[in-house]
Structure 1
């Protein structure tokens, strides 16, 4: 995937929910799953990172009325040119909000399609995040090497029986992240694509470390 130079930073590139951080609290970007919106994870973030600033964009791609962050042509088949363009746009959005919160720790959390756009941003611009939680990501391609990930801590959560994000591809992503030098952890549950309480607890521990 060829990521072009970043777009001009734009805080309003996406319709989004925003909440200012309490003094000394981190800024958390939250990315919803297919069919979700900017509120899907905002309550969860407020619960697991009390006082955090929150920026939660709404995906601007419609798939039969369901909001997504990039196009696909089938289950697990990504429009790679569109993914590259949407990643560039998201990088500009994140940079603009980071600039408005200088000095803050910056975290990212995404579920499903939201985890995929967050991962794609990490592949291209890892310096934007200190920590990232990828909940049920699916990366059906091998990213280019990214040594900048050595400064990022990443938690991957997954279901061993997930029909959308097969376990072997999650393991490949974990191995790739580790090979880039990222401090990577993986939390598994025995279910499918649903979010479960133990992985929310794992995210809480990870983001409060």
Structure 2
């Protein structure tokens, strides 16, 4: 499927997407992954707030749930089609490699919200080489029994909502434990609020990004 034009034009790759080139080539690129019903435009403002000047790569999920884009199928609220999770995570990892070659990018830091955070967590478990780090906003465990793997030092931030009606706190804690067990440098914070994002999420994510994604030496 051909991608639509973006701020600077987007190559015809496997996912419809937006690509905004870097104005600061030393800033790590961001992979922006929207939630259910979002699209490739949703997280661009957050990406700019987190990392001004970074390249932004923002694909649209290929799965449709009642006309709402998603990155993988679910059987019910909080119940995932795990076979589809595996398939779609591999498909997304292949797209990331394709986009890196097309746009000349290093491995990106994923910034995912809800369904986008869950597919990013699946990437960390199934295709960890695709990402250099991840900010998971309202994430859940995507796979009940993921295959063995390692995340040697990969920085990960998980931000949960204390009153989130969709993501049980224990579920997010299990995700943090699993990624830590694989060797990730995981920080899990529970913020006031529900499933929706707040200014506190943006502030915490920005501070973490600045502290955990060192810029290459000049």
* 8 Å CA contact retained: 1:11, 1:96: no
Q: Structure 1 length as normaliser, TM-score?
A: 0.89
Matched with 2:7 is none
* Shift in Å, 1:106: 2.1
2:99 to 74, 97, 100: 97
CA distance in 2, matches of 1:84, 1:127: 15
Matched with 1:14 is 15
CA distance in 2, matches of 1:105, 1:175: 24
Matched with 2:186 is 184
CA distance in 2, matches of 1:104, 1:15: 20
Question: Aligned residues, how many?
Answer: 199
Matched with 1:111 is 113
* Shift in Å, 1:144: 2.5
Q: Report Cα offsets for 1:87-109 as digits up to 9, x if no partner.
A: 11101100112224546362110
Q: Root-mean-square deviation (CA), in Å?
A: 1.6
Q: What SS is found at the alignment partner of 1:123?
A: helix
Displaced runs of 4 or more, over 4 A? none
CA distance in 2, matches of 1:51, 1:63: 34
CA distance in 2, matches of 1:63, 1:143: 24
Q: Report Cα offsets for 1:160-205 as digits up to 9, x if no partner.
A: 2211110000011111111111000012112211112112111101
Q: What SS is found at the alignment partner of 1:150?
A: coil
CA distance in 1, matches of 2:44, 2:105: 22
| Structure 2 counterparts to residues 47-126 of structure 1, below 5 A | 47-102=49-104, 104=106, 106-126=108-128
Q: What SS is found at the alignment partner of 1:157?
A: strand
